Chain A
């Protein structure tokens, strides 16, 4: 590696580092937002637990077992909610990040700086990943202590790997969202619409098999589907990591496609909005 390449590599790392530091500073400035994202996902799945108690009259459902392999619906719901947290933070964190820069009046400076924009986005994605993992770690601890989630040492590393792959796929999708928001501006509506797709077509609250065939096909394009199946197989069905190699492989394929498309789309939209002069429009 030549000295200029070394310098460039260091400069790019510095961009990522600066983005992470900036976003962590924002997080520290609004601690109530951190508390919100840590606590409120529990409030969102509690109604599903009470609903099951009313409909089934206990903590186990035989019919649920036919679909999912486990009759214990509470850990199923809790794992779904924790991993779904990554979807929310990626869509609203990274997906809307460029739009937020526009609101703060810093987007023009950011895009006109002589830095590689891909590394700015990587920095944003990395800081969101750190935050999401902090939320998820706290939620997992609460899940173990309160909701009867059982974790053994040997499945921790595979779960970390699956979550890492999930993050990669989600940020690929979030990059696409950030790219589209450069042109179409209404990032919040786009993020909400994508959230609905994840909410209905992935097995967050119910197994994918309970949906119509076309909805199952749509769900199979989303990284959360494979991550949920794999993590639940390891944690709830006590399966070996080799039993979920297919889900992990498919998750990797979805990641590669999503990241490639994400960067390609962002690069294309950036050039398009710069040449049309609509980059700083609201």
Chain B
């Protein structure tokens, strides 16, 4: 084609896959992976920040352990023993606290990550790419899960070296299975938090607020039975409570679950419910904010 005497080259056309096909699925997986790689590149640009964030879970775990030791003057609590069948507070708190980082994945990495792109000035650019917006969020989640895994490993090494941990080695695999089920539901929850961050903008308040509420409603440093009954009922809606009860059943000798029922079925039901709810809310929010033109607002 020629225009005003100059040769004009047709722009190269790319066919974007659409619909639920294998090619499309592969493309979305690639988008998730690339987002994950991008997050790691940013992370390694600030190595001190990476180290700080890896140490952070240990810093927040230590006061729970020291406080517990001061309260009972030793490592074993008769009261905890009567509630859950084990009195070893260090192992009990450690097995509870390892999930806190993964809650952070859903509320911070997924919820707040989208707002972070806005600060970097890249939000609109990546938002208009022909990939699913959910893949963007899942890429951030993938990075965060690996990051949290590193933190938990570091936490384990330090607590094991200082206090020692009485864990059942054979229970690690089933506990990881439960962790995976919990992560699925937390991904759905994270999509819901992302939607809130898209609408309400002050993402850090939403993330910090939900993180604090989940901390209280999860049996991290105490069994659910010490919570008021309304809080106990509310904790059933989130995957962290059944996951922790299930993980401790496999990891701690003589642990008696404080709540009866099949944690696997409970988690599967929550997975289904949170993923459907999260995806629907995310898409509805996406349409809503683009219609109102508030996507790029602060």
CB within 8 Å of B: which residues of A? 30, 32-33, 36, 40, 43-44, 46-48, 50-57, 61, 63-64, 66-67, 73, 186, 189, 192-193, 196, 199-200, 204-207, 210-211
Task: Please measure, in the bound complex, the distance between the C-alpha atom of A63 and the C-alpha atom of B89, giving whole angstroms.
Answer: 15
Task: Please measure, in the bound complex, the distance between the C-alpha atom of A59 and the C-alpha atom of B223, giving whole angstroms.
Answer: 16
A interface, over-half SS? helix
- B70 lies within 8 A of A67 (CB): yes
Please give me the residue from chain B that is nearest to A196 by CB atom: B59
- A64 lies within 8 A of B71 (CB): yes
A58 to chain B, nearest CB (A): 8
A267 to chain B, nearest CB (A): 25
B interface, over-half SS? helix
A22 to chain B, nearest CB (A): 18
Given contacts A40-B212, A43-B212, A55-B89, contact A50 B227 (CB under 8 A): yes
Q: Chain B 202-238, CB within 8 Å of chain A: the 1/0 string? A: 1001001100110110001111001100000000000
Please give me the residue from chain B that is nearest to A58 by CB atom: B79
Q: Is B62 an interface residue, CB under 8 A from the partner?
A: yes
Q: Is B46 an interface residue, CB under 8 A from the partner?
A: yes
Query: What 5 A-B pairs come out closest when comparing CB atoms?
Result: A57-B79, A63-B73, A54-B222, A43-B212, A51-B221
- B46 lies within 8 A of A189 (CB): yes
A-B contact pairs, 29 of them (CB 8 A): A36-B208, A43-B215, A47-B215, A47-B220, A47-B222, A50-B221, A50-B226, A50-B227, A51-B64, A51-B67, A53-B222, A54-B77, A55-B68, A55-B79, A55-B222, A56-B71, A56-B72, A63-B70, A63-B72, A67-B70, A189-B46, A189-B48, A192-B52, A192-B56, A196-B56, A196-B59, A199-B59, A206-B63, A207-B70
- A54 lies within 8 A of B216 (CB): no
- B52 lies within 8 A of A205 (CB): no
Given contacts A30-B202, A200-B62, contact A205 B67 (CB under 8 A): yes
Interfacial chain B residues near A44, Cβ < 8 Å: 212
Q: Chain B 8-52, CB within 8 Å of chain A: the 1/0 string? A: 000000000000000000000000000000000000001011001
Cβ contact of A55, chosen from B55, B62, B80, cutoff 8 A: B80
Task: Please measure, in the bound complex, the distance between the C-alpha atom of A82 and the C-alpha atom of B270, giving whole angstroms.
Answer: 37
Among B68, B70, B222, max chain A CB count under 10 A is at B70
Q: A64-B70, A192-B52, A205-B66 are in contact. List 10 more A-B contacts (CB 8 A).
A: A43-B212, A52-B67, A52-B71, A56-B71, A57-B79, A189-B46, A199-B59, A205-B67, A207-B70, A210-B70
- B52 lies within 8 A of A36 (CB): no
Interfacial chain B residues near A33, Cβ < 8 Å: 202, 205
Please give me the residue from chain A that is nearest to B64 by CB atom: A51
Interfacial chain A residues near B175, Cβ < 8 Å: none
Cβ contact of A189, chosen from B49, B69, B73, B226, cutoff 8 A: B49
- A47 lies within 8 A of B68 (CB): no
B203 to chain A, nearest CB (A): 12
Please give me the residue from chain B that is nearest to A77 by CB atom: B67
Count the B residues whose beta carbon is within 8 Å of the partner chain — how many? 40
Cβ contact of A66, chosen from B73, B213, B223, cutoff 8 A: B73
Task: Please measure, in the bound complex, the distance between the C-alpha atom of A199 and the C-alpha atom of B67, giving whole angstroms.
Answer: 12
B236 to chain A, nearest CB (A): 17
- A43 lies within 8 A of B59 (CB): no
Among B83, B202, B208, B212, max chain A CB count under 10 A is at B212
Q: Is B60 an interface residue, CB under 8 A from the partner?
A: yes
Interfacial chain A residues near B59, Cβ < 8 Å: 196, 199-200
Task: Please measure, in the bound complex, the distance between the C-alpha atom of A54 and the C-alpha atom of B48, giving whole angstroms.
Answer: 37
Given contacts A55-B80, A63-B72, contact A36 B209 (CB under 8 A): yes
- B71 lies within 8 A of A43 (CB): no
- B216 lies within 8 A of A186 (CB): no
**B69-91 at interface with A (beta carbon < 8 Å):** 69-73, 77-80, 82-83, 89
A6 to chain B, nearest CB (A): 43
Interfacial chain A residues near B60, Cβ < 8 Å: 199
Please give me the residue from chain B that is nearest to A43 by CB atom: B212
Task: Please measure, in the bound complex, the distance between the C-alpha atom of A54 and the C-alpha atom of B209, giving whole angstroms.
Answer: 24
Task: Please measure, in the bound complex, the distance between the C-alpha atom of A103 and the C-alpha atom of B199, giving whole angstroms.
Answer: 22
- A50 lies within 8 A of B222 (CB): yes
B231 to chain A, nearest CB (A): 9
Task: Please measure, in the bound complex, the distance between the C-alpha atom of A57 and the C-alpha atom of B202, giving whole angstroms.
Answer: 39
B197 to chain A, nearest CB (A): 13
B258 to chain A, nearest CB (A): 10
Cβ contact of B209, chosen from A30, A40, A57, A200, cutoff 8 A: A40
Task: Please measure, in the bound complex, the distance between the C-alpha atom of A171 and the C-alpha atom of B27, giving whole angstroms.
Answer: 52
Task: Please measure, in the bound complex, the distance between the C-alpha atom of A55 and the C-alpha atom of B89, giving whole angstroms.
Answer: 8
Interfacial chain B residues near A196, Cβ < 8 Å: 55-56, 59
- B63 lies within 8 A of A200 (CB): yes
- B52 lies within 8 A of A189 (CB): yes
A225 to chain B, nearest CB (A): 15
Please give me the residue from chain A that is nearest to B215 by CB atom: A47
Task: Please measure, in the bound complex, the distance between the C-alpha atom of A32 and the C-alpha atom of B201, giving whole angstroms.
Answer: 11
A175 to chain B, nearest CB (A): 21
